[in-house]
Structure 1
Amino acid sequence: MLPPGGRISGVRLVRLLGSWRKNGARQGSADLAAAIRLLVADGRLPVGTRLPSERELTDVLPVSRTTITTALDQLRDEGLVASRRGAGSWINGPVGGGGGILGGDDTLIDLTRCAPPAHPGLAQAMAAALTQMPQHLVSHGYHERGLPQLRQAIADRYTARGLPTSADQVVVTSGAQHAWALALRLFAGPGDRVLVEQPTYPNALEAVRAASAVPVPVPMTDDGWEVDAYEAALRQAGPRLAYLIPDFQNPTGSLLSSAGREALAAVLRKAHTPVVVDETLVELSLTDEPMPLPMAAFGGDLVVTLGSASKSHWGGLRVGWIRASAEIVHRLVSTRAAIDLGTPVFEQLVLSELLKDAEPVLRQRRLEFAAQRDVAVEALAQHCPQWSFKVPSGGLGLWCTLDAPMSTRIAVVAQNHGLRLVPGPRWAVHGGCEQMLRVPYTQSSEVLREAIGRLGVVATSVAGTGFLADAELAVPVA
């Protein structure tokens, strides 16, 4: 029986493969197989996807049919691709020896997510929320804006940070990604340009493309945000919207200063361009230095702020929010019904409990993340001394500059050492960042040391020989 899944055309597969050839004509089949593995590991070729025929691939790829056949045979031997006469070929399972990378392999270390496990106080908050559920069960349970008590708690935290906020300026969402999708729906349509940092959060870029809008990158510099570059991009591209992560930017970890916020907000106001500010990581400052005021304190009603409990408390809560002017909140709620009818009540009650006395928990989390960051810094210095990076003052990851443009190759080979990584080009609008790699430090210190030790082995092998030989790639992770 064939698995469910759509078919990908040869032209689209070629577009996804990009510059897949790394080692010249002699290694063409190995390079092609490795590139397809990466697309599966990245989720861009989901399990069940029907592949183009070998004849179609021969027409669109500048290689011989023998090369294509050899690559597919290798992937069939690994179990990644399955075929049946008369039915073609399809993606059969996850990448890795014995199906390890997405399956039940206990040796897998996933470094694709800057997402920590839940803190111990979450279970207690859930128990307290459960006692409040009976009073909500007699109602319809739909709250398009969110529970009043949670909206007030979120508003109070903004006010405490120096940005006076009322509950009617807050909408509760199912995570920050959902909040971003709502904002995109309100502000941008097909063909509209959306200004983004480069590099930036890959899922934010995917949301822009899903809205049929066009992401316009503005490069980050070593010092962060260059106001003149934004002024030029606003003038030349005429975007309908901008998306920024000024608080421990993902993936660079940069923090926009108060002076930078004021200058950038002035440029955006002059262009009358609304800006969506993603504050997902704002609670994770790892120093005692005071944080700048929120961007909305400088940009006024042009700023729509996204927040989330995913990084500070737990991603499994799936609770986020939007902070905006009352007028924008009204417009957001009016259009929300086309996407969903509200965020689950129980999760909102849990977060309400967590925010009653949030600082002790957040203080402990920050200490843990600071210690794990220092472990990652030490391990990278030991195992990848040829790489460079800035130690961020907050956030959950290190943005590393490699000694050669080999990020994608490292991500491919790392799968066979029990590591899952996001290659640098995923953070860019049109590719690039091949000399960059994000290393999260959300795992325990013991796991981080093991992961970065493996990463050092991978980096050495890739730098020395390109992709590992096929026999080495097939070795199961033990």
Structure 2
Amino acid sequence: MTPVQLSARSAALLLTDWRAGTDAAAYEALSDALRVLAIDGRIPQGVRLPAERGLASALGVSRTTVAGAYARLREDGFLVSVRGSGSVVRLPRDLVGRPDPERLGGVVGGDVLDLRKAALHAAPGIAEAVERAMRHVPAALAGIGYDTVGDPGLRAAIAERYTARGLPTDPSQIVVTIGAQHAIALLARVLVRRGDAVLVESPTYPHAHEAFREVGGRLVGVPVDARTGWDTTALEHTLRRTAPAVAYVMPALHNPTGATMTPDARDLLVSVAAAVGTTVVADETMGELRIDGPAATPLAAASDDVVMIGSADKVFWGGLRIGWVRARPELLQRLLLARPTGDLGTPVLDQLVARELVPRTAAVLEERRAYLAQARDDVVGALRARLPEWDVPSPAGGLTTWVGLGRPVSSALVLAARAEGVVLASGGVFGPDGGFERFLRVPFTMPAADRSRMVDVLERAWARVGGESVGPSGSLAAVV
């Protein structure tokens, strides 16, 4: 199979700020930047890098610089030369040979603290909910087990939760999915045709923009800031100029910034989207994890044409793979017709457990709120005290803070922390076209001892980086 080609223009977009904050030779800085893109998965394995001459032109450097960078990557095992295919990205054998998150994104063993997934430990009461759910298993066994719509009791519970939050909902407006990511991918397949514009926030949830790109969507970004929120001028201009098929937004406790849309921004989004024929998809995966003040009313309260995505995973437990879509029945029917090509239904046993848990959402959120408030204040306070040059917002909710580093060194900082066993996602992961090297998403979901360890490691990593990319030749390979 011919490797996928990364164009020189696309590579240049991913390599924003690759020279900033470093006094290393140009070829070393370029190889370090490409190495981080491969480790983060922003340049997947098997992708063919641009020809040396083309990338040199796109970056405004000599061909010798690019050739030196490629040679260094080959020496370190991140690049192989394939006859007739040029230079193809590979991960070194020591990464490929062990099933850990650097290759698969799975659970890290040993003493490594993996903080790339912002998630809480299981809420109290999960085991009891499993026991109660078992009472319904005999009735479930009377069916064949292939359920593409969702357990009626679970759909009713989800509808009741929306209604209690100010969005009257009937169970016929709910389809249960295998987590929120499954819902995003299914909506992308149904709503987006190849070449369609798709509005996404910048930064945004990485696997969402991957799903829209996978179906051929052409992404157009709208800035979101942790302190000022959405750039409403850019939002309106982008909607009217591109008339996107879909606008994918996280209007409440946005991931990664933690921002929440103002009422004016919500009204603008809904009204302009309706005028240009755009389907608004509102992802509420984080939306109810409010720490300060009341949770926002679901965006679909402004218009029933808004499609809502929800999940039990962030509130209750990541191992409970239950999500859902709330939409008009006509759209849900299209989703159900498209679904069998990707899966044949949501696991029945998971749904039975979720049916027991969803009615307890308000009580669990209150327990989570107390824990998250203390955890947020601990992490934000410690980072502000020990790294005063950083801009550390205190979000009103969610699971992370979007830290401004002041310098474009996020990837170098992440690699330095990785050397001490703390694994974070660099800021660039959250950019649809890269960038965000001046930011770092820092979770506060872990126990107190792990919070302290993370801050200690970040302080030492920052001292090592010193605001510069990690040093001499070979040093990045050593910290992978």
- The answer, yes or no, to whether TM exceeds 0.5 is yes
Residue 111 (structure 1) aligns with: 115
Alpha-carbon distance, 1:82 to partner: 8.9
Matches within 5 A, 1:171-250: 171-221=175-225, 222-250=227-255
> Which residue number in structure 1 is paired with residue 170 of structure 2?
166
Distance 1:100 1:473, change over 3 A: farther
2:370 aligned to 367, 370, 383, which one? 367
Indicate the larger mover: 55-64 or 424-433.
55-64
Find the counterpart in structure 2 of residue 63 from structure 1.
64
Structure 2: which 5+ runs fail to align? 57-62
Contact 1:23–1:31, Cα closer than 8 Å, also in 2? no
The reply on whether 1:155 has 2:155 as its aligned counterpart is no
Q: 1:468, CA displacement in angstroms?
A: 3.2
Deviation at 1:439, TM superposition (A): 0.6
Q: 1:414 and 1:450 mapped to 2: Cα distance?
A: 11
The one of 439, 451, 454 aligned to 1:451: 454
Contact 1:177–1:204 (8 Å) recurs in 2 = yes
**Alignment pair present for 1:39 and 2:22:** no
User: How many angstroms does 1:184 deviate by?
Assistant: 1.7
- Among 273, 282, 288, the residue aligned to 1:283: 288
Whether 2:141 is the aligned partner of 1:143: answer: no
Deviation at 1:263, TM superposition (A): 3.6
Are the counterparts in 1 of residues 21 and 409 from structure 2 also a CA contact under 8 Å?
no
Amino acid at match of 1:279: E
1:69 shift after superposition: 3.3
**Cα distance change of structure 1 residues 398 and 6 upon mapping to structure 2, 3 Å threshold:** farther
Q: Deviations over 1:248-284 (max 9, x none)?
A: 0111101123343234322222333220000101221
- Deviations 1:447-476 (CA, angstroms, capped at 9, x unpaired): 111112211222232235431345765667
Q: Deviations over 1:111-138 (max 9, x none)?
A: 2111122123212222322342232223
Aligned residue among 356, 360, 372 for 1:357:
360
Structure 1 residue 25, shift from structure 2 partner: 9.0
Report what 2:463 is aligned to.
460
- 1:106 deviates by 2.5
Give the Å deviation of 1:434. Answer: 2.0
Task: Quote the offset at 1:45 in angstroms.
Answer: 5.5
8 Å CA contact retained: 1:144, 1:333 = yes
Among 260, 263, 271, the alignment partner of 2:276 is: 271
Note the C-alpha offset of 1:338.
2.4
Residues 68-119 of structure 1 show CA distances to partners (whole Å, capped at 9, x for unaligned) of: 434432x24xxx779999x9984244659x9987495533222211112212
- State the match for 2:422 in structure 1: 419
Which of the numbers 401, 404, 409 marks the counterpart of 2:407? 404
Contact 1:10 1:60 in 2 (8 A): no
Q: Supply the distance in 2 between the matched residues of 1:195 and 1:293 (Cα, whole angstroms).
A: 22
Alpha-carbon distance between aligned partners in 2 of 1:366 and 1:229, rounded to the nearest angstrom: 33
The 3-state SS of whatever aligns with 2:319 is helix
Q: Which amino acid aligns with 1:217?
A: G
Partner of 1:128: 132
Partner of 2:263: 258
Look up the match of 1:72: 74
Rounded to whole Å, the distance in 1 between the matches of 2:249 and 2:364 is 27
CA–CA distance in 2 between the matches of 1:28 and 1:127? 60
Q: CA deviation at 1:166?
A: 0.6
For 1:376-387, list aligned pairs within 5 A. 376-387=379-390
Residue matched to 2:60: none
In 2, Cα distance between equivalents of 1:101 and 1:316: 17
Partner residue in 1 for 2:323: 320
Indicate if the aligned counterparts of 1:9 and 1:52 stay in contact, CA closer than 8 A. Answer: yes
The 1:470/1:125 distance shift into structure 2, 3 A limit, reads farther
Deviations 1:204-230 (A, max 9, x none): 111110010111111124421243332
Which segment drifts farther, 24-33 or 432-441?
A: 24-33
Deviations 1:413-467 (A, max 9, x none): 3322322222222222323222111111111121111112211222232235431
Q: Is the 2:116–2:423 contact (alpha carbons within 8 Å) kept by the matching residues of 1? A: yes
Does structure 2 conserve the Cα–Cα contact (< 8 Å) formed by 1:399 and 1:437? yes
Q: TM-score, normalised by structure 1?
A: 0.86
Q: Do the aligned residues in 2 keep the contact of 1:195 with 1:216 (CA within 8 Å)?
A: yes
1:40 and 1:95 in contact (8 A); partners too: no
Asked if 1 retains the 8 angstrom alpha-carbon contact of 2:229 and 2:259, the reply is yes
Distance in 2 of aligned mates of 1:262 and 1:56: 47
Q: CA 1:142–1:41 in structure 2 vs 1: closer, same or farther (change >3 Å)?
A: same
The answer to whether the Cα contact below 8 Å between 1:224 and 1:254 also exists between their aligned partners in 2 is yes
Distance in 2, matches of 1:415 and 1:380, equals: 18
**Is residue 351 of structure 2 the alignment partner of residue 348 of structure 1?**
yes
| Rounded Cα–Cα distance in structure 1 between residues aligned with 2:384 and 2:177 | 40
Secondary structure, in 3 states, of the residue corresponding to 2:302? Answer: helix
Give matches, 1:388-403, under 5 Å. Answer: 388-403=391-406
Letter in 2 for 1:316: G
2:290 is paired with a residue whose SS is coil
Structure 2: distance between partners of 1:322 and 1:133: 25
| SS of aligned partner of 1:107 | coil
Give me the whole-angstrom Cα distance separating, in 1, the residues matched to 2:147 and 2:201. Answer: 33
Which structure 1 segments of 5+ residues have no match? none
Question: Offset at 1:6?
Answer: 8.3
Which runs of structure 2 are paired with 1:87-102 in the superposition (5 Å)? 90-93=90-93, 102=102
Distance 1:82 1:238 in 2: 41
CA distance in structure 2 between the partners assigned to 1:51 and 1:430 by the alignment: 16
TM-score normalized by the length of structure 2: 0.86
Deviation for aligned residue 1:295? 0.7
Q: Does the 8 A contact of 1:41 with 1:94 survive in 2? A: no
Cα distance in 2 for partners of 1:99, 1:30 equals: 29
Quote the residue 2:59 is aligned against: none
